[in-house]
Amino acid sequence: MSLDFLSKPNDLVALLQVSDAEDIHVLVDYITDKGKGRIALASDVCAKLTTAKEMGRYDRSDLVDIGYEIRRFGGNTLTNLYRDARWALFGHTNPISSVLDKVLPDSSPAVDYDEVVRDVASNLKVNFNKNDSLLIIEDGILRKLLKDSFEKMSPEERKTVLDELGVTDLSLLAPAATAATLLAGKMAGFATYKIALMVANAVAKALLGKGLSFAGNAMLTRSLSVVLGPVGWVVAGLWTIADMASPAYRVTMPCVVQIAYMRQKAIMKASAVICPKCEETNAKGSKFCSGCGAPL
């Protein structure tokens, strides 16, 4: 497996190329509004991506389109109208365009994915530094959504999730203490992947009416069901905020969450082995399963 999705996190195609088709289906549903289309999405692109989803496979041009549309939705609508006009009139290498670049915004119809992620993080009130990497900000987005959902959980539900994340200190059952633990990232094993799975599954369920399609996560079933409602309520609340209620954010926010999950899944695949007996995730090189003790 190529690790370009880690060394070049801004390159969405590199990640999409190592991702499962079922996970890409979710992105297509977010972009195309489950095939119904969007005002800001060209009808031919919508039809192309919807057809690829129905066929269950994506060629490189499909992956390029998916990455491009996510980055395009990431730009401000009015700014994108300006970019499209400049691109159509002058292209990107025209001398006139070079002069305009010195006094006006860049003419590229899409923004960098890093900018999309930072914009979503800012609107979600994620605490991050301007020098933080894209991967750190993605992680912060996932933890912020889960942290906010903890405030809507019962103590029993919080305990279920904390147990899954390897946190055994019962004093952390209070929402504030749990939030501090989540944001500090002080959890065992593949906790970041588990958080990503829980949050992305809940967001998909809330916005698409169905969760993710996944295998090999039987041990996570209870935790996944626990966070469905709370994360769904958090997402529903976001749509009442002016900025997050815009059509663009209704695409970028869930896409950023889904891509963060897909990246963590790719990392897990590259660095872990699944126990054939209990399906627990273990670090590669482990001699025994951390869940059931079976030899690996």
Is the sign of the CA dihedral 39, 41, 47, 52 positive or negative? negative
pLDDT given at position 102: 47
pLDDT given at position 216: 44
pLDDT in tens, 119-131: 899 989 998 998 9
Given a contact cutoff of 8 angstroms between Cβ atoms, the answer to whether 157 and 226 are in contact is yes
Tokens matching residue 85: 């006009």
pLDDT given at position 285: 80
| The pLDDT of residue 287 is above 90 | no
* Residue 272, strand partner residues: 283
pLDDT given at position 83: 53
Say what the pTM is. Answer: 0.80
Is the sign of the CA dihedral 61, 67, 71, 72 positive or negative? positive
| The pLDDT of residue 224 is above 80 | no
Which range among 31-45, 150-164, 178-192, 208-222 has the greatest average pLDDT? 31-45
| The pLDDT of residue 45 is above 90 | yes
User: With bands split at pLDDT 50, 70 and 90, how would you rate the model's confidence at 188?
Assistant: very low
User: With bands split at pLDDT 50, 70 and 90, how would you rate the model's confidence at 91?
Assistant: low
Question: Quick one: which H or E segment has residue 283?
Answer: strand 281-283
d(CA 134, CA 13): 15
Q: Which residue has the higher pLDDT, 279 or 237?
A: 237
pLDDT given at position 28: 98
- The 10 Å CB-count burial string (b at 16+, else e) for 262-291 is bbbbbbbbeebbbbeeebbbbeeeeeebbe
Given a contact cutoff of 8 angstroms between Cβ atoms, the answer to whether 288 and 295 are in contact is yes
Query: How does DSSP assign 38-72, residue by residue?
Result: -TTS-HHHHHHHHHHHHHT---HHHHHHHHHHHHH
pLDDT given at position 245: 60
Query: How does DSSP assign 147-211, residue by residue?
Result: HHHHTTS-HHHHHHHHHHTT---GGGGSHHHHHHHHHHT---TTHHHHHHHHHHHHHHHHHHSS-
